[in-house]
Amino acid sequence: MHKVAVIVDDGVNPFELGVAAEVFGDDRSDRGVPRFDYRIVAPVPGRIALDYPGGADLLVQHDLSFVDEADIVVVPAYTDCAGRDCHVGAIDALRRAHARGAWILTLCTGAFVAAKAGLLDGRRATTHWRHTDRLARDFPTIEVDADAIFVEDGRVVTSAGTAAAIDASLHLVSVLFGARAAAVIARGMVVPPRRDGGQSQYAVGPVAEQRAETLAPVLHWAAERLDEDHTIASLARRAMLSERTFARRFREELGTTPLAWLTGQRVQRARQLLEATDLSLDVVAQQSGFGTAALLRHHFQRQLGTTPSAYRRRFACDLEDAEAVPVG
């Protein structure tokens, strides 16, 4: 029987904790899925406060000693996981588990706990799109993949936010026990064994969005006119800067190039139109500034890992209830 330890502390998120329990805690041996010895552990057993509206507690019976036996160690999200100090015992237990070859699975901002333990140094990793910038800033040796739903690197699996915990957990089951086992669990959870695309399609605004300072007026002007032709030269003229100075300042303030920013804004505009209108792809392409449906598909697939049609099927609003999106 494979042993799974889930490390919790005050402020643990009940959703990610529930995902771990659903994937690893349910007995599906009658359907060919291996059984798990699943235990929730804490640095100090007893009452643990959940990050739950209205207040709720979890009574934990096991201490961290079980981590030293576990084949899989799960770290869910915690309140302010990025900024808070982690319990020294939990950090040490994680390091020992990884050193002896156990798999480490972090869910959402649980990646910060693994990062503080040094397990992500020199590795690829991800976390919720709201926190990828901070993970990269606080731990510069980590190669942060801001778009990935999950990342596997060196027996460490990190997941993006909330529901991505399901994807990462099923992926680990597939790696260790095969695709059939993962499919059985997924079917019971009424979810696909694997989703297409990355987490950018769920983010609001660019994943790596930064605040523009001196360029804010020209960016606002361009964002209101995405269906028009824009070049570095035309934007630089609008900002009353040379092209060279404009490109340099753009990189300094936004961390990207003008054309990459413009493409990202057009993809965001196309997303809005696909979600809240029934306009054809040709019209969506024209109003978002791509010009043709083929170019829209190219950039949509490149940035979001899915097609405009698939995105619309997944995220389209009820047009009678949706707020109107300007289409002029």
Give the dihedral sign, CA 211/217/221/226.
negative
**pLDDT (average), residues 134-160:** 91
Six token digits for residue 61: 């019976």
Where in the chain do CATH 1.10.10.60 domains reside?
216-315
Model pLDDT, residue 209: 43
Whose tokens are 């950018």? That residue is: 200
**pTM score, two decimals?**
0.67
Model pLDDT, residue 200: 60
Tell me the per-residue pLDDT of 33-89, one tens digit each, with 9 for 90 and over.
999 999 999 999 999 999 988 889 999 999 999 999 999 999 999 888 777 888 899
Tell me the per-residue pLDDT of 173-194, one tens digit each, with 9 for 90 and over.
988 888 888 888 988 998 877 7
**Residue 203 pLDDT class (50, 70, 90 cuts):** low
Model pLDDT, residue 326: 45
More confident site: 156 or 149: 156
Where in the chain do CATH 3.40.50.880 domains reside?
2-202
Give CATH superfamily name and number for 216-315.
Homeodomain-like (1.10.10.60)
Pairing of strands 156-159, 103-106: parallel
Reduced to 3 states (helix: H, G, I; strand: E, B; else coil), residue 147 is: coil
Tell me the per-residue pLDDT of 98-138, one tens digit each, with 9 for 90 and over.
999 999 999 999 999 999 999 999 999 999 988 998 999 99
**pLDDT (average), residues 148-167:** 91
Residue 205 reports pLDDT greater than 60: no
Tell me the per-residue pLDDT of 235-246, one tens digit each, with 9 for 90 and over.
999 999 999 999
Model pLDDT, residue 197: 65
Tell me the per-residue pLDDT of 249-303, one tens digit each, with 9 for 90 and over.
888 877 778 888 899 889 888 988 888 888 999 999 999 999 999 999 999 888 7
Length of the chain: 328
Tell me the per-residue pLDDT of 8-27, one tens digit each, with 9 for 90 and over.
999 999 999 999 999 999 99
Considering the domain 2-202 in this protein, what is its CATH number?
3.40.50.880
Distance CA 159, CA 168 (A): 6
Residue 80 Rama label (left phi>0; alpha psi -120 to 50; beta):
left
Model pLDDT, residue 325: 41
Distance CA 194, CA 171 (A): 8
